Structure 1
Amino acid sequence: MFVPEVLQSVSDRTADHPRIRCTATWSSDSEGRWSLPFVAILSSAPTEFFSAKTAWYVVFVPRTKSVTVYPAMVGGISVTFQHQSFNSEGSASLPWRLGNPCLDRPAGALGRASWNGQPDAIDDKIVWYLERLLIWIDAAATGELAIEGEPLELPPGPGQTNFPVVGFVGAGDDLAFWRGRTNDWGWVDLAKLPGAKISYAMTTFRDRQSAPIRKSVWGRAIAEAAPAKTGLWIALDNLPVQAPWELPRTWADLSAHLETQGVQLAEVFELAGADRRRRKDDRGTVTLFLGFPIAELVGGTPRSTTGSL
């Protein structure tokens, strides 16, 4: 296969790189993408989540001139770190996973000066991404991707295009109120936003017996809307994240993690299910909400609460 000169230049420039080993030549697929498999070598000691050598693919799309680096399906990392997309498996035809590290944003761990110097030439740009990856894997392996004082990024999850959008509004005393209910659970009314298809607003929080305990202050259009759906809320001590930085992927993972916070998910579902079967105003599917205190900055003090579907 003929490899464009500009891409061959990348291979030539990395041939003697001390930390990059190309394992094959560039190849293109039916979608016009060019990809190059390589192995990146840590400059630090291997860890539980990072071996000394990990396999990757750098992918170049000529039409958009975009460059993305993905973990390889074989020999690549399978977990998700900070500053990385949710690292799920992609199409069976792809040799890489979908968890591309975020290399083109000015994360403190990657150096803002080097971010500002991103080159325009295609071969320079691809090499620049490879060098940024080396910085990223070192920071990931040593737990230094999240710098204290930087904005906190919630862990990424799988695509949720088929899920409803649910909005909530907070009050000044939310944190104190919900901390008083840690490990508790109950119900929440969801009002459908006027004119929207699958967008809702949380209006009234209820205890296990459906008695109102907290009302959200919305505008008239939402405040006067009748509940269209019901949600199940669980109040947690902290963000339900698994090491290194990903949401639980399965119900079993979620159940095991919540158990470490003192929540027996199976018991909650059993009691909630029994309650729903007794009701006469069942409004269909129940959406689960996990609420937890959260800080705006890494290492900061929580000032508000948020939730995850």
Structure 2
Amino acid sequence: MLNYKNIVPSNELAIGRRVIEEFKNIELLEDLTWNQDELKWVMKCAITIETTSSFVPKKTIWYIFIENSYPLGTIKFYPAKDGGITSTFPHQNYNAEGKNEVPWRLGDLCLDTNSRLFNRLGLSPEPAEYCLRLGWHFERIIHWLKAASAEELFKLGDPFEVPQFPQNSTLKLAFSEDATTINNWKSIKAKYGYAEFNIVNKHEGNPLVVTSKFFNSQENLVLENKWGSFIENNTGSLILGGWLILDEIPVIEPWQAPIYWGELMLQCTKQQVDLLQILKELSPKIREEKIQILMVGFPIPKEVGKDKTQIHWEAIELPLLTKNNKQASKGFRDEEKGYWLRDQHRNYKATNRIKWAKTENWNQEQLISRGSIGTEVSSKPTLIIGAGAVGSVVAELMVRSGQKEMTLLDQDIFQAGNLVRHTLTLNDLKSYKVEAMEKRLQSISPHNRIKSFTSHFPYIDEETQEIIKMNEVIIECTGENDTLIHLENFKWNSVKTFISLSIGYEAKYLYLFIANGEIFSSKAFFDLISPWMEKEREMTDGIEFPREGVGCWHPVFPARADDIWLLVSTAIKNIELAIKEPKKHPTLLVFEQQIEDGIFKGILLISQEEYK
């Protein structure tokens, strides 16, 4: 453990700090001092720029926080309470005064590039060298101050950022908005009304609330959020709150969210909105709720200067309103008018702080922005036959990539032997695989809809058959020859994309059969794969298989979990391509794990053959 007594700056930090002497417009007021409370080095500087504005004086004072691991770690610039900027700007956290006992404010600047995560790849201009990194940050703050003074912190085409709404509520609210829903909102005349929220059961102690329905002030439904199976199956209490949409972000210049009720009311007034009157109108129906919420929405663009493409919501946990079963305080009548007078007097004083809650946009497009299969694939209902190791990984990867509708079909029970490679866990032992997988997959996304049937294909009732026929993509992962015959005999009644996915002994080979049509051709499959099955038999001649082994290319054959995920990942990429660009003829793709001289070299396509 590091002993911080008599600590001195490292040589790297001392050299980095000398760079300041090269800046003519930077004056060192207090040299590096170790702050035991912050566990960081702190120094105080004055920075002078030529231009000024009503928000940025010519000279500003700053406290700079540097980690002891420099040049690693963060470097933060905080305005001084005495001589620092007092407003909040873009690319800055809310610039509150903070604790009385410290001389700096809380509004640290965002001077990092938005590609910080890619530093290792050399994609960020921020230098890593100790002799350059601190100086680079000082150059950035000088540019930041000049841009702030000239009101040029927002550049045309930059990613748009919402001001920080300081959160002091434990409530978390999820909504779903995109380019489609903003058009719906544009067609709605109402600008405020009631909203229904669902509290997700598993978060009762620290409430997670999702938007459900929006009504106008006359209680007519104007918009409804459609969520997936998990939200539907795990919501408990239904609560009623309020909503309000403004034409613009309620922001105090240059870029501060309202902190007090008086500030928010003033910003609403500037947009010809009487917030107090709206609260008065909504209060009678929401005052009995255990959590009282007001959502404040406004349209935002994706990029600065571009068209507005979605509604963004911030949420307020309202001060508890007077309950109907309690008498109003002395001086107020025990009726709604009296309740409101009490609430207005006690809850909505101009100097009362707003209790902002954390909000997140859980729209499908937003959640899968880190990587997804295209909508041409994710929008197609998919049936997975077989919920073994291969089927479970196929389902998991597809759902995590944005698959919206999926049906699972398998009759097997999850056993201890399955733990090695399956996506399920000890908690799922002795459960039907597909039922446990349904719950797991539903919990991955708030938008997907997963169904499961504990049956062996094709021995299913007529109702289940009709559900299965609605799927457009059929992925067979059983490794059983009989299933392929049943696929051919089943009356699908429409064109499908058929996929059969199987893995060879010790996961050396991946066999991926792809076909399109109203009928699955088992002849095409067996004609294409037979030579490879003969090769598998020769490879495994004389080998004693584990008890689970029931065929030379069955997915439960000896193979590690990483082999399964590796080969299934290869299959997913080709399944995506096969759906986007359907193949004219049944095709068998064969991939092989390549290992040479003790080095794994990847997965190689070694055969591609069409059946004509």
TM-score, normalised to structure 1, is 0.86
Amino acid at match of 1:37: K
| Segment of structure 1 superposing worse, 48-57 or 21-30 | 21-30
- The corresponding residue for 1:133 is 141
- The corresponding residue for 2:42 is 35
Amino acid at match of 2:94: F
- Deviation of the 1:259 alpha carbon: 0.4
- The corresponding residue for 2:209 is 200
Distance 1:27 1:115 in 2: 33
CA change 1:140–1:115 in 2 (3 A) is: farther
CA change 1:172–1:37 in 2 (3 A) is: closer
- The corresponding residue for 1:150 is 158
Unaligned runs of 5+ in 2: 1-5, 116-121, 316-612
- Deviation of the 1:72 alpha carbon: 1.1
* Deviation digits for residues 94-146 of structure 1 (CA, Å, limit 9, x no counterpart): 22112111111149xxxxxx983423343532222111110111111111111
- The corresponding residue for 1:191 is 198
- Counterpart selection for 2:300 from 289, 294, 299: 294
Larger RCO: 1 or 2 (CA < 8 Å, sep 6+): 1
CA contact under 8 A between 2:16 and 2:130: conserved in structure 1? no
Amino acid at match of 2:210: A
**Other structure's SS at 2:145 match:** helix
- Deviation of the 1:175 alpha carbon: 2.3
CA RMSD of aligned residues (A): 2.5
Amino acid at match of 1:212: L
**Other structure's SS at 2:290 match:** coil
Q: Within the alignment, does 1:266 sit opposite 2:276 as a pair? A: yes
- Counterpart selection for 1:80 from 77, 84, 88: 88
| Segment of structure 1 superposing worse, 219-228 or 90-99 | 219-228
- Is the radius of gyration larger for structure 1 or structure 2? 2
- Which segments of structure 1 move beyond 6 Å, counting only runs of 4 or more? none
Distance 1:164 1:176 in 2: 28
Distance 1:301 1:13 in 2: 43
Q: Within the alignment, does 1:70 sit opposite 2:74 as a pair? A: no
* Deviation digits for residues 249-289 of structure 1 (CA, Å, limit 9, x no counterpart): 11110000010111111111222224445xxxx32231111
CA change 1:171–1:140 in 2 (3 A) is: closer
- Counterpart selection for 1:15 from 21, 40, 63: 21
CA change 1:126–1:284 in 2 (3 A) is: same
- Deviation of the 1:42 alpha carbon: 1.4
Q: Within the alignment, does 1:217 sit opposite 2:223 as a pair? A: no
Amino acid at match of 2:58: A
Q: Within the alignment, does 1:118 sit opposite 2:113 as a pair? A: no
CA contact under 8 A between 1:189 and 1:227: conserved in structure 2? no
- Deviation of the 1:169 alpha carbon: 2.2
- The corresponding residue for 2:98 is 90
Amino acid at match of 1:136: W
Q: Within the alignment, does 1:235 sit opposite 2:214 as a pair? A: no
* Deviation digits for residues 211-248 of structure 1 (CA, Å, limit 9, x no counterpart): 32222212244347565222210111122222111211
CA change 1:171–1:19 in 2 (3 A) is: closer
Q: Comparing both structures, which one devotes a greater share of its residues to helix?
A: 2
Amino acid at match of 1:234: L
Distance 2:125 2:216 in 1: 54
- Deviation of the 1:184 alpha carbon: 2.5
Q: Within the alignment, does 1:105 sit opposite 2:113 as a pair? A: yes
TM-score, normalised to structure 2, is 0.45
CA contact under 8 A between 1:183 and 1:237: conserved in structure 2? no
Distance 1:226 1:10 in 2: 56
The sequence identity of aligned pairs, in percent, is 25
